[in-house]
Amino acid sequence: MLLGGAMVAFLACENENSAERLYDERMDELEDFVDSVETAVNRDANHDWSRLDSRFTRLTNEVKNLEPKVSDPDTEDRRKIAERYGEAKQKSVNQSQNNIETEAEAHLNNLESWWDEHKVRAEGTIEQRASNVGDDIEEAAEESMAWLEENFERLGDNIKERYQKVKADIED
C-alpha cells in the first residue's frame, strides 16, 4: 500500500514536471517565433500576415492551454511577447504603406512630367487629341499609369487626387 502511494505521488510529480517542461518549451517557441517575425520585418515589410497570425494564435493558444497545468505561469511574459508581435505587425503595415506611397509618388511624378512635356500636342478636336496623345504615350508613362491604376485603392488621398487630375487631363 505504501508503495502504491509512493508510485502515485511519483507519477503526479512526473506529470507536473512534464507539464512545466512542455510549458517552457512552448513559451520558448512563441518567443523565438516573435523574434523571427521582428527580424523579418526589419529586412522586408511585405509578409503574409494571415499565415503569421494563424501561427501566432496557435502558439499562444498552446501556451494558454498549458497555464492551468503549471505552478507559476508567466502570463505577463506572454502578454509582453504578444505586444511585441503586435508592434512588429504594425511596423510592417506602416512600412508597406510608406513603400507604396514612395513608389506611387515616383510613378505619378513620371506621369506628370510626361504630361507636361506632351500636353501641347493634346490640342485640337477630341479625335486629334486622342490620336496625338495615344501615338505619343511612352512606355514609361504607360507603365506608371498602369501601376497607379492597379494600386489606386492603396494610395493616399493626395496621390489619388493628383493622379485623377492627370488622368482627366489626358482623357479630356
Shared domain for 129 and 86, answered yes or no, is no
CA–CA gap between residue 104 and residue 144 (Å, rounded): 8
Q: At a CB cut-off of 8 Å and minimum separation 6, what does 35 contact?
A: none
Domain end (from 35, 63, 96): 96
Shared domain for 89 and 113, answered yes or no, is no
How does pLDDT run across 8-19, given as a tens digit for each residue? 444 444 555 788
Q: What is the mean pLDDT of the chain?
A: 79
Shared domain for 110 and 91, answered yes or no, is no
CA–CA gap between residue 26 and residue 14 (Å, rounded): 18
How does pLDDT run across 10-53, given as a tens digit for each residue? 444 455 578 889 999 999 999 999 999 999 888 877 778 899 99
Q: At a CB cut-off of 8 Å and minimum separation 6, what does 22 contact?
A: 66
Shared domain for 146 and 78, answered yes or no, is no
Domain end (from 44, 62, 96): 96
**Which pTM does this prediction carry?**
0.59
Shared domain for 76 and 13, answered yes or no, is yes
The total domain count for the chain is 2
- Report the number of secondary-structure helices (H) and strands (E) in the chain: 6, 0
Shared domain for 58 and 134, answered yes or no, is no
Q: Which domain holds residue 89?
A: 2-96
How does pLDDT run across 129-155, given as a tens digit for each residue? 555 555 556 666 778 878 888 888 888
Shared domain for 83 and 123, answered yes or no, is no
Shared domain for 116 and 87, answered yes or no, is no
Shared domain for 78 and 102, answered yes or no, is no
SS3 64: helix
Shared domain for 82 and 118, answered yes or no, is no
CA–CA gap between residue 98 and residue 117 (Å, rounded): 29
Cell numbers at 53, concatenated? 497570425
Shared domain for 143 and 103, answered yes or no, is yes
How would DSSP label each residue in 65-85?
HHGGGSSS--HHHHHHHHHHH
Q: At a CB cut-off of 8 Å and minimum separation 6, what does 111 contact?
A: 141, 144, 145, 148, 163, 166
Q: Where are the beta strands (DSSP E) in 13-146?
A: none
Domain end (from 96, 117, 143): 96
Closest CA to 68 of 136, 20, 118, 1: 20
Shared domain for 81 and 157, answered yes or no, is no
